[in-house]
Amino acid sequence: MSDSTTSPTPPTARRRRVPRRLLALGAALATAATVLVAAPWATAASTLTNPGFDSNGASQTPTGWSESGTVAASKSEYGGRNGGYHLAHWASAAYTVETTQTLTGLTAGTYTMTAWTRSSGGQGASYISLRNCGSSEVMVYIPTSTSSWTQISGSINVTSAGNCTVVIRSRANANNWINVDDVTFTRSGSTGGGSSTISIRGVDLSALKKNEDKGALYYDANGNRGDAITILRNGGANYARLKVWVNPADGYNNKARVLTMASRIKAAGMKLLVDFHYSDSWADPGHQTKPAAWSGYSFAQLRDAVYNHTYDVLNALRNQGTTADMVQVGNELNAGMLLPDGTSQNFYNLGQLLKSGINAVKAVNTGTRVMLHLAEGGNNSLFRWWFDGVVGQGVQFDVIGASYYPYWHGSLSGLQANLNDMATRYNKDVVVVETAYGFTTAQKDAHENIFNSSLASAGGFPASAQGQVDELKAVYNVVRNVPNNRGLGVFYWEPAWTAVAGNGWDPTNPNSGNAWENQAMFDYNSRALPVVAVLGTA
C-alpha cells in the first residue's frame, strides 16, 4: 500500500459539450500477453489448413489461405509466436487486405475461433471475423499497439449448411502492421444454439418511475400496452440498474423511490445493480458535487457519511427482501468523488472514501458484488492510471465497470483492448455498464438531443433502428470476447426515458427537456424498437 497522498496528472479526458451528466459523460493495451484458458468443451482439433502459417515458410500466399484487396500486404514471414512463421499484414502505403480460409462440411453447432495477435496500432480497422456461417458475422478486433503476443477469441453458430469463413482483415495506414499466428477453429459438440453467452443483459431504469408519473405509456413491438419492465424483460433483459441521489430536488432517485423500483424489478425476476452517485444530482467525469447536506463536512465526516448513506439504502433494500446483487460505489469516477476532497489527484483520500462505501456494502451483505466505474471505456491509459492508483491504496472490489458510447469513447477495438487488459491486469470481471445509440436524429420535444448527425457520423453506425441494433450487438460481441470468460455483460443506459413533460434532464427545473429520447428503446409512438429483442441475444 502506498503512503503517497498525491498522484500523477491523469491522461486527458474527452470533454462533452452536453448538459450536466449528459455533459461530461484507443489507447495503449497492456504489453503483457493475455492468456486465454481453453473452454472445457473445445474438444475438436483445429479444422484449418496451415493454422500456424508454417507449411510453406515465407510466402506471398500461405498454403490454405486466400488473399484479396491489397494482396501484396499479406504474406507469411519468419518469426512466429513459438518460432517458425506467422502471417503479417503491412505495406508502405495505406492498404486494405483480407486473408481468408473457408471451411466446408462442418457439423452444425457452436464453434470458437482463437488466434494469437500483435499490432503496431494505427489501423483504421483490424479484426478477425467469422463470416458466411449461416448466422450474423462475428468480428473480434485485434488489440492495438502491443508488441507482445495476445490471444483473442470469438464464437459463432454454424448452421446446417456447414460452411464458415475465417477472415483476417486490415484497413491500415502506411507502415502499420499486424501479425497473426496459431489460429484455431473448434466445435463445442453442441448442435444448434447461438454463440457463447454473457450473463448480464442489463438496462438502466432510473428515469422510469418519474416518466410513468408524468404520463408516459409503453407498448410492445405489436402495439400492446404494457409495463416497460415487463416489455424489456420479455426482450431478454435480466438485470436492472438504479441510481441513488442523496437529496434530489425532484424527489426521484432517492432512497424511497429506489425501494419502490427495486420491488418491481425483483418481482419481474431480474437482478439489481444499485448505482450510488454520492450527490444530489448527476455525478460524472465533469461533476462530482457533494450533497448540499454534506457540503460543510470535514473529511472524516464525509467518510462516515459515505458509509452511513450506503448502509442505510442497502439495508432498507435487504429488509424489504430486495437485496442488491451488485453495487457501484460511485459513478464515472474518472475525476474522483465528493470533490475536492476525493479527487483522483489524491488517491489516498479517494481510497479512504471508496473503502468506506465498500465496507458498508459488505456489512449489509457479503455476497453483494462491488463495482468501480469509469467513463471512456476505450481509454486504456486512463483506466490503468486510475485502477493502479486505487489498487495501490488497498481498495478491494469485484468488478470493473466502463461507460462506452461509440460516438464519444473511440473504436470498438479500443474498447476490446481495454477490457481485455483490465480483466487480465487486475484479474477482475468487467462490465460495459453504460452504452446507448440513437435510432433517429429527429427530436420529440423542444430540447436539443445529445445524439445528432455529427455524433452519428462519429459513432460508426447509422442513426436508425438498425444502427441501434448493430451498436448493441457489437458491444455485446466485444464483452463476449474478453478472455477467460471475464466479460460479464452490458447495461443499456435509460432505454425507457422517453420525452414526457416534466421529466427532463435537470431535477431542479421541471420545465427542462429530455436530451435522450432518441436513444431510448421505444420510438416516438412509445412502441418497442427492434433493439429490445437484441437484449436476449447475448
pLDDT grade, residue 372 (50/70/90)?
A: very high
> What pLDDT is recorded for position 50?
94
CATH number for the domain including 71? 2.60.120.260
Going by C-alpha positions, the residue among 334, 342, 431 that lies closest to residue 387 is 334
| Mean pLDDT taken over the chain | 87
Distance CA 183, CA 508 (A): 56
Catalytic site residues?
A: 332, 434
| pLDDT value at 196 more than 70 | no
Q: What percent of the chain has pLDDT over 90?
A: 70
Query: Among the three residues 140, 156, 187, which one is the final residue of a domain in this structure?
Result: 187
- Mean pLDDT on 525-538: 91
Show Cβ contacts of residue 244 under 8 Å, excluding neighbours closer than 6 positions: 253, 254, 255, 258, 274, 275, 276, 277, 313
- Cα-to-chain-centroid distance, residue 236: 17
Q: Report how far apart, in Å, the C-alpha atoms of 396 and of each of 230, 254, 352, 448 are.
A: 35, 26, 11, 41
Residues 155-179 pLDDT 10s? 788 887 889 999 999 999 999 999 9
Burial of 59 (0-12, 13-18, 19+ CB in 10 A): middle
In order of 247, 257, 436, the CA distances from 254 in angstroms are: 6, 5, 24
Domain harbouring 480, CATH code? 3.20.20.80
Angle at 309 between CA 400 and CA 280, to 5 degrees: 85
Is the predicted pLDDT of residue 3 greater than 60, yes or no? no
Rounded CA separation 82/482 (Å): 23
Confidence of residue 27 (pLDDT cuts 50, 70, 90): very low
Share of the chain above pLDDT 70, in %: 89
**Phi, psi torsion values for 436, nearest 5 degrees:** -175, 165
- For residues 126 and 270, membership in a common domain is answered with no
**pLDDT value at residue 435:** 97
Task: Place 17 in a pLDDT band, splitting at 50, 70 and 90.
Answer: very low
Give the least confident one: 123-132, 161-170, 345-354, 422-431. Answer: 123-132
Q: What is the pLDDT of residue 145?
A: 59
466 and 337 in one domain? Answer: yes
Tell me what the mean pLDDT of segment 352-376 comes to: 97
Across 40-44, 326-330, 413-417, which has the greatest mean pLDDT?
326-330
**Residue-number span of the structural domain to which 477 is assigned:** 21-25+197-537
Mean pLDDT of 235-239: 96
pLDDT band at 191 (very low <50, low <70, confident <90, very high): very low
Question: With 50 as the cut, is the pLDDT of residue 445 above it?
Answer: yes
Same domain, 414 and 285: yes
161 three-class SS: coil
Of the residues 187, 215, 235, the one at which a domain ends: 187
